[in-house]
A = this chain, B = another copy of it.
Amino acid sequence: MNFITLLDYVGTFAFAISGIRLASAKHFDWFGAYVVGFVTAVGGGTLRDLLLGLPPFWMQNVSYLVVSGFAFLFVVGLRKYVIRLNNTFFIFDAVGLGLFTVVGIQKSIAVGYPMWVGIIMGTLTGAAGGMLRDVLLNEVPLIFRKDIYAIACICGGLIYYLCMYLDLPAAPTQFIAACSVILIRILAVRYGISLPALKGETRPAPKEK
């Protein structure tokens, strides 16, 4: 197992933990919590693969199912430690976000899509799992309302293509882009930076459609 694979599992683990914890807060049963954790971890990449016309990545390799299983056992078995490890999970989650973004961009480039599709696919890979998680939890998706999350992916994507434009080799390009995502994410949370919310209209929402 090389270093990238290890980071991939760390990200998968952290994403699954986030889904399982939120599912447990809503009193899902074991099966439901596991599924929500798994969807959080692989949902973004699955949506990306469907849009790119590729076979879903997690169906080629049982590891993602297993890593989500470990995340489940961890939440069930080590409940007390989970809360104490909040900061660790946050870092793992940011690492996953950075790595997943880069993976999404690479896959998109491999299929031959231009930059703007690559950035969208990178952002989907990183952020859409959490969106699907919130749909299954019957909540308004958090990424639409709080924090810099998907925006970190978008910035990382822009930096990825900037590095490519500057003719940097693949490895440093990927490293710089992933680190940018992680850094932006951490700084945004640390300094409480977020996007402005849109103000609702004073009149009731339109009913045309």
Asked if A198 contacts B24 (CB within 8 A), the reply is: yes
CB A83 to nearest CB in B, in angstroms, measures: 6
Q: How many residues belonging to A are interface residues under a CB distance threshold of 8 Å?
A: 75
Judged by a CB distance under 8 angstroms, whether A176 is at the interface is no
Contact B90 A208, beta carbon cutoff 8 Å: yes
**Cβ contact of A30, chosen from B15, B75, B196, cutoff 8 A:** B196
Q: Does A117 count as interface, using CB distance less than 8 angstroms?
A: yes
Q: Which of B76, B114, B142, B151 contacts A198 (CB under 8 A)? A: B76
Tell me if A's interface is mostly helix, strand, loop or mixed.
helix
Whole-angstrom CA separation of A194 from B194 in the bound complex: 42
Quick one: given A18-B206, A209-B93, are A136 and B141 in contact (CB under 8 Å)? yes
Contacting pair A21 B195 (CB below 8 A): no
Query: What are 30 A-B residue pairs whose CB atoms fall within 8 Å in the complex?
Result: A15-B209, A18-B209, A24-B198, A25-B200, A25-B204, A27-B197, A27-B198, A28-B145, A29-B198, A30-B195, A30-B197, A30-B198, A31-B195, A32-B145, A33-B198, A35-B144, A35-B150, A50-B51, A51-B59, A59-B113, A65-B120, A75-B198, A76-B198, A83-B203, A86-B208, A89-B206, A89-B208, A93-B208, A135-B135, A138-B139
Q: Pick the most buried of A59, A82, A135, A207: most chain B CB atoms within 10 A of its CB.
A: A59
A1 within 8 A of B: no
Q: Are the C-beta atoms of A200 and B26 separated by less than 8 Å?
A: yes
Q: A23 at the A/B interface (Cβ < 8 Å)?
A: yes
Residues of B within 8 A of A33 (CB): 144, 198
B142 with A24: CB separation less than 8 A = no
The 6 nearest A-B residue pairs measured at CB: A32-B144, A24-B198, A29-B195, A25-B200, A25-B205, A90-B208
Q: A30-B195, A194-B29, A196-B29 are in contact. Are A142 and B90 (CB under 8 A)?
A: no
Inter-chain contacts of A86 with B (CB < 8 A): 206, 208
In the complex, A22 has a CB within 8 A of chain B: yes
A56 to chain B, nearest CB (A): 5
